[in-house]
Amino acid sequence: MNELETIVLSRDIDAHGLRSGDIGAVVHVYDGDAFQAEFVTGDGNTIALLDLTIADVHSMSEQEILHARKLSA
């Protein structure tokens, strides 16, 4: 993973209302297999800033389409 890379969640993270397929961005890369990712709403408000590993996400591919959904309350 590289900083500012677009990523896609591979699993739900219920504690933050995130679902598999949600899109985020890498904001910091740690040594090894870990990085910090940010997930935001359509108006730019951060809803989660999480430490993740490559097992939690995949890089956005050219063959994927963006999708919007309402954030669960």
- Which tens digit of pLDDT belongs to each residue from 40-72? 999 999 999 999 999 999 999 999 999 999 987
Residue 38 lies in a domain: yes
| Whole-number pLDDT of residue 57 | 96
Tens digits of per-residue pLDDT, 16-27? 999 999 999 999
Residue 20 lies in a domain: yes
Q: Can you give the residue range of the structural domain that contains 29?
A: 6-59
> CA dist 41 to 2, 18, 62, 70, Å?
22, 11, 22, 9
Residue 69 lies in a domain: no
Residue 65 lies in a domain: no
Residue 29 lies in a domain: yes
Residue 64 lies in a domain: no
- CA distance from start to end of the chain: 30
Beta strand extents in the chain (DSSP E only) = 6-9, 23-29, 34-40, 46-53, 57-59
Joined together, the tokens standing for residue 71 give: 């954030």
Residue 73 lies in a domain: no
Q: How many domains does the chain have?
A: 1
CATH number, position 22: 2.30.30
Residue 48 lies in a domain: yes
